[in-house]
Amino acid sequence: MADLHESEIQISNLPTKSVILTPKRATITREIRTTIHPGQNAITIIGLDPKVDLDSVQIDGSGPATITDMQTEVVSRREKFDDVYPELTVEGESDLDQDMAADEEGVDIDDSELRAIRKEEQGLSTSLAKAQDDKSASLFVLQFLVGYGKSIEATNSDPGKLDDFLQMYLRQRKTEGDRARDTDVKIADGEKALERVKRKRERLESAHTKAKEAALKEVRQLRDKRVKERQERWAQQHRDRNEKKQFWTDRVGQVKVYLDGHVSAASVAEDVPDSGQLIEVTMDLTYIVPGPNWVPRYNLKINTPASTASLIYNADFQNNSSETWKDVRITLSTSHAAFSGLDEPIPILQPWHVTTCSIPDPKSISWQNVLRSPAEIKPNPMASNTGIYAAAPDAQARARAQILANARSVQESSTHQFAQQLQQHQLAQQMQQQTQAQAQQAMAPQAPIAAAMFSHAPNPAPREPRSSWVPSARRALGWGNNSEQGESDNSDSDTETISSPSLERQDSVAQNYGLTTTYELSGLRTLAPSSSHRRHLIAQSTLQSLTLTHVIVPKIRAAAFLRARARNTSSVNILRGKTGISVDGNFLGTSTLPNCAPNDFFSISLGVDPNVLVTYAKPTVRKLSTGYISKEKAAVFRRSCWVKNTKSTSIDMIVSDQIPLKDNEQMRIQVLEPKGLEKEGSEMDMALEKDRGKGKAVMMRNGEVKWFVRLEPGKDVRLVLEYQTKVPDGNAVITAN
């Protein structure tokens, strides 16, 4: 059996040819240049990220060899952290006090004058002490002579000796007295001179101390700077070490490749021994690591006076694997893009169906059951006016209870049967609602994915039909330029269609693969494992055809949502992603930018505008007298919305309300105000004063009524929706869904 030649290569020693980042993972290609022996060889490549997708590992190459087998597995790491990163060893603190003492000793200040004055002071002090000693000696001699004289007895003393003593006393007294007076003068002069020298010495010492402090201040500042730099370096070493340690793994991926090396025909002819011939081979190792990612990030700056917007398109990418990719070309790919939901979307009115049910007593008919639509009755997390919505009881249950009470007072015998019918009807409706809710919840997570994968997938939110009367209403109000392609498609819609994600390259040709677009970053980059994100500017463009519209759905929320609509005039496909929004230099916050292809329009909600006041009145109903012989009962319903523009500029707004839809032909519903809205597509001009603005009321599909209004600054408008409902005598009106 031939010998197996084995070798091992660390992944960190292999150059990285390319890295393709997708929103969830990275595809890495490394180049292996090595030599093998003729015959059987085994090359072990160790050090891959342990999360590597082992099924994605591929090896291609060139050279006189054949890949016979490949094995992949995750094994324990053999290297030690400190051996791999010796430069990250944290240095210890040195003795800064010794360094400071050495620095202070090195400070040299000229003190020759100070030394001279100190020497002079020392001489004066010596002279003064000598004079004081001489004076003390003179005083002692005089005191001694006086004492000696007192001790001589006059009676027993020899007169000659006494005379000699007195002569000596007089001489000594004169001598010591003169010396004492001289020393007094010397002491006085010496004290004055010494005091003068002391003051001079103190001044020189003070000046010398200040000079030394000034010199030492620079030394201390230099020392403090060194201490700060050392501490910062120490902290940075700790951060670098902790950062590397965070991505250090105890296990690593391993790829073992088996090759058969071939000897050339010329070598065989020349009888070259196999053992002495090396074969050069080149291989490409490609594998996928989950974790590294990139996401689009935008900055949208809206200029309302110019009706333009500036869009900055960035890509945030991160390497959170355990590998380092040195001097590599980075490519961003939109493959497997994931999208999130909208941030507080603008409300949408759903169809409101009503129907009839028979009751025992025609006189007990109540119209309270259809004052509010189901969307009003259900709890609304977006509603800020909780006093209107939160306290609203279940209208259906209340209506049925009222019907049951009225029926009991008229005909006790038929109450039990009628109540059973109502309970069965209510139970059936509840089961139907629960089934629909469960179906919607089950389908909700799949809707964004389906919309992202297939551009022709329908939008899950209901959209309005493309009708000729909608653009005419907008043109009458002077809203935007409807001659542009694609304007009428989304002119009234409050939702955005999710288009297929794509992204172009900058300074290069975009590569498109179906729904995938790649973008290659310029230059070579080194991506080390890090928890921080890196940002790259992809494109910056000015968006034209910007329109601002206030969308108001008062029965869902009494607030004016500001919506911006612009055309993507850049050559880059906008992917769905977070964006910072600034309006006229004021930063509003972050939102989500929808997908938008070049030359297409996109809309984005800017939140609630507090400068537009909205009030929605409670619903009212009044019964109509139909005569004694009439076989129908009728009532008029009224809803009104008051809007005031407190801004200094005019605003364009869309106000939406709705009338119920009948589920059978026994009942009739007619719009009384705005007049003329008889069928879908009907539109009527609003009777507004010239200084207030202008507008139109339009009947949309599913009973939705919209007012397109341009409201002047400081003005207000009241929009009234009034409709009449007639039902056969003996029937009550309840919500059908």
Q: Tokens at residue 146, please?
A: 């006086």
Greater pLDDT, 147 or 330: 330
Q: 211 and 258: one domain?
A: no
Q: 132 and 174: one domain?
A: yes
**CB-count exposure of residue 333 (10 Å: 0-12, 13-18, 19+):** buried
Phi and psi at residue 267, to the nearest 5°: -65, -35
Contact by Cβ (8 Å): 37, 261: yes
The fraction of the chain above a pLDDT of 90, given in percent, is 24
* pLDDT tens string 486-524: 333 343 444 333 233 332 333 333 444 444 667 788 888
Asked whether residue 498 is assigned to any structural domain, the reply reads: no
* pLDDT tens string 127-137: 888 888 888 88
| Average pLDDT score over residue span 286-309 | 89
What pLDDT score was predicted for residue 166? 77
| Gap between the Cα atoms of 447 and 268, Å rounded | 66
| Beta strands 511-513; 251-261: pairing state | unpaired
**CA 411 and chain centroid, separation:** 67
Positive or negative, the CA dihedral 561, 567, 569, 574 is positive
What pLDDT score was predicted for residue 88? 63
What pLDDT score was predicted for residue 97? 54
| Residue-number span of the structural domain to which 10 is assigned | 1-77+249-264+277-291+322-337+505-529
What pLDDT score was predicted for residue 112? 84
| Beta strands 651-658; 704-711: pairing state | antiparallel
What pLDDT score was predicted for residue 718? 93
Asked whether residue 67 is assigned to any structural domain, the reply reads: yes
> Could you tell me the CA-to-CA distances from 522 to 31, 468, 503, 506 in Å, in that order?
21, 48, 15, 8
What pLDDT score was predicted for residue 42? 94
Q: 23 and 3: one domain?
A: yes
**Does position 482 have pLDDT exceeding 80, yes or no?**
no
Q: What angle do CA 482, 560, 645 make, to 5 degrees?
A: 85
687: domain CATH number? 2.60.40
Q: How confident is the model at residue 361 (pLDDT cuts 50, 70, 90)?
A: low
| Gap between the Cα atoms of 566 and 547, Å rounded | 7
Q: What angle do CA 298, 611, 472 make, to 5 degrees?
A: 75
The fraction of the chain above a pLDDT of 70, given in percent, is 72
**Does position 89 have pLDDT exceeding 80, yes or no?**
no
**Does position 3 have pLDDT exceeding 70, yes or no?**
yes
**Does position 461 have pLDDT exceeding 50, yes or no?**
no
For the chain, the domain total comes to: 3
* pLDDT tens string 364-394: 666 777 777 777 776 554 444 333 333 333 4
Asked whether residue 384 is assigned to any structural domain, the reply reads: no
* pLDDT tens string 556-603: 999 999 889 988 888 788 888 899 999 888 888 888 888 888 888 888
Q: 243 and 116: one domain?
A: yes
What pLDDT score was predicted for residue 31? 93
Q: 157 and 170: one domain?
A: yes
* pLDDT tens string 718-734: 999 999 998 888 787 88
**CA 630 and chain centroid, separation:** 67
Q: 69 and 123: one domain?
A: no
Return the DSSP state at 611.
T
What pLDDT score was predicted for residue 76? 93
Written in H, E and C, the secondary structure of 310-367 is: EEEEEEEEECCCCCCEEEEEEEEECCCCCCCCCCCCCCCCCCCEEEEEECCCHHHCCC
| Average pLDDT score over residue span 116-122 | 86
What pLDDT score was predicted for residue 719? 93
What pLDDT score was predicted for residue 95? 52
The amino acid at 133: D
Tell me which H or E stretch contains 239. helix 159-246
**Does position 254 have pLDDT exceeding 80, yes or no?**
yes
What is the pTM (predicted TM-score) of this model? 0.55
**Does position 29 have pLDDT exceeding 80, yes or no?**
yes
Q: 223 and 331: one domain?
A: no
Q: How confident is the model at residue 717 (pLDDT cuts 50, 70, 90)?
A: very high
**Does position 176 have pLDDT exceeding 60, yes or no?**
yes
- Helix, strand, coil percentages in the chain from 3-state DSSP, rounded to 5: 35, 35, 30
What pLDDT score was predicted for residue 286? 95
Greater pLDDT, 625 or 3: 3
**Does position 263 have pLDDT exceeding 80, yes or no?**
no
Count of H helices and E strands in the chain?
11, 32
What pLDDT score was predicted for residue 352? 79
**CB-count exposure of residue 173 (10 Å: 0-12, 13-18, 19+):** middle
| Gap between the Cα atoms of 488 and 481, Å rounded | 10
Q: 241 and 121: one domain?
A: yes
Q: 257 and 204: one domain?
A: no
Greater pLDDT, 424 or 140: 140
Asked whether residue 165 is assigned to any structural domain, the reply reads: yes
**Does position 346 have pLDDT exceeding 90, yes or no?**
no
Contact by Cβ (8 Å): 599, 485: yes
| Gap between the Cα atoms of 121 and 156, Å rounded | 55
Query: Which segment of 338-352, 452-466, 576-590 scores lowest on mean pLDDT?
Result: 452-466
Asked whether residue 285 is assigned to any structural domain, the reply reads: yes
Asked whether residue 23 is assigned to any structural domain, the reply reads: yes
Asked whether residue 541 is assigned to any structural domain, the reply reads: no
What pLDDT score was predicted for residue 102? 58
* pLDDT tens string 304-343: 778 888 999 888 999 999 999 999 999 988 764 433 343 5
Asked whether residue 349 is assigned to any structural domain, the reply reads: no
- Among 321, 328, 347, 334, smallest CA distance to 575 is for 334
Q: 2 and 27: one domain?
A: yes
**Does position 123 have pLDDT exceeding 60, yes or no?**
yes
Buried b (16+ CB within 10 A) or exposed e, 345-357: ebbbbebbbbbbb
Tell me which H or E stretch contains 176. helix 159-246
**Does position 467 have pLDDT exceeding 60, yes or no?**
no
- Cα dihedral: 179, 180, 185, 187 (round 10): 110
**Does position 406 have pLDDT exceeding 70, yes or no?**
no
Query: Which segment of 86-100, 200-214, 306-320, 459-473 scores lowest on mean pLDDT?
Result: 459-473
Q: 256 and 227: one domain?
A: no
> Could you tell me the CA-to-CA distances from 704 to 340, 468, 658 in Å, in that order?
29, 17, 4
| Beta strands 65-76; 251-261: pairing state | antiparallel
| Average pLDDT score over residue span 404-410 | 44
Q: Tokens at residue 72, please?
A: 């992949």
| Average pLDDT score over residue span 704-713 | 93
Greater pLDDT, 643 or 217: 643
Q: 197 and 284: one domain?
A: no
229: domain CATH number? 1.10.287
Q: Tokens at residue 52, please?
A: 């590597």
**Does position 72 have pLDDT exceeding 60, yes or no?**
yes
What pLDDT score was predicted for residue 173? 79
Query: Which segment of 63-72, 270-279, 301-310 scores lowest on mean pLDDT?
Result: 270-279
What pLDDT score was predicted for residue 298? 92
